[in-house]
């Protein structure tokens, strides 16, 4: 499925298969929709977007049990997907790892009784950042971070998104449907004004 085929598919949903009315809008909206969808892991599986999945191994040195890790220095990073421990590389110790929300993290920071015990790592995702808290005895942990990269839109002009870039058709159809929905919604708002 080429980007031209995607644009025509969206055009058909908008009753504009020749893209005479919506050509420019479709391109911009589709890019925006895909980027938004990629920040919501409930919309896709990592296997559906292999070209956009990156992995980073990191050794984290905790001071006072807290650590903020910023991924923005990595080229094209859009969002952090997950954090896992490298059990074989953590000095033979076993750790419990839990993901929590940003609100819960603030509660943990403000209430000492909620802080993790030794051998426990609690983290939350905040866009391109990971905020982590460990039990007091944890000094260093080796972790694997899975992250999502921004699509390279220039590659779409020359490559098939399914065959060459390995995007799943299901994920692309979700993006196509959402793009058409947003354009229709915008057109309705425009005509009402």
Predicted confidence (pLDDT) at residue 159 exceeds the cutoff of 60: yes
* Predicted confidence band of residue 158 (pLDDT cuts 50, 70, 90): confident
Mean pLDDT for the stretch of residues 180-188? 90
Q: Which of 40, 18, 23 is nearest to 174 (CA)?
A: 40
* Predicted confidence band of residue 93 (pLDDT cuts 50, 70, 90): low
3-state secondary structure of 163: coil
93 vs 56, higher pLDDT: 56
**Range in 59-63, 106-110, 134-138 the model is least confident about:** 134-138
* Predicted confidence band of residue 46 (pLDDT cuts 50, 70, 90): very high
> CB of 50 within 8 A of CB of 166?
yes
> CB of 171 within 8 A of CB of 48?
yes
Q: What phi and psi values does residue 129 have, to the nearest 5 degrees?
A: -120, 150
> CB of 86 within 8 A of CB of 143?
yes
What pTM does this model have?
0.82
Q: How many CB atoms lie within 10 A of CB 77?
A: 19
β-bridge pairing 120-126 and 77-85: unpaired
Which tens digits make up the pLDDT trace of 1-25? 999 999 999 999 999 989 999 988 9
Which tens digits make up the pLDDT trace of 111-149? 877 777 777 888 998 888 899 888 766 677 888 899 999
Give domain limits for the chain.
3-48+167-192, 51-149
Average pLDDT, the chain: 87
């Amino acid at each position: 499925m080429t980007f031209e085929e995607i644009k025509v598919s969206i055009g058909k949903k908008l009753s504009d298969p020749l893209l005479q009315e919506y050509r420019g809008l479709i391109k911009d909206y589709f890019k925006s929709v895909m980027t938004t969808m990629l920040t919501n892991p409930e919309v896709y599986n990592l296997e559906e977007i292999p070209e956009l999945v990156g992995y980073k191994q990191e050794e984290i040195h905790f001071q006072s049990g807290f650590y903020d890790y910023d991924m923005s220095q990595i080229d094209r990073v859009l969002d952090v997907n997950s954090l896992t421990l490298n059990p074989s590389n953590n000095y033979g110790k076993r750790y419990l790892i839990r993901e929590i929300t940003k609100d819960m993290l603030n509660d943990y920071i403000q209430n000492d009784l909620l802080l993790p015990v030794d051998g426990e790592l609690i983290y939350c995702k905040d866009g391109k950042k990971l905020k982590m808290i460990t039990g007091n005895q944890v000094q260093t942990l080796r972790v694997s971070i899975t992250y999502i990269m921004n699509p390279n839109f220039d590659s779409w002009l020359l490559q098939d998104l399914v065959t060459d870039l390995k995007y799943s058709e299901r994920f692309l159809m979700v993006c196509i449907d959402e793009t058409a929905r947003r354009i229709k919604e915008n057109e309705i708002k425009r005509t009402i004004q």
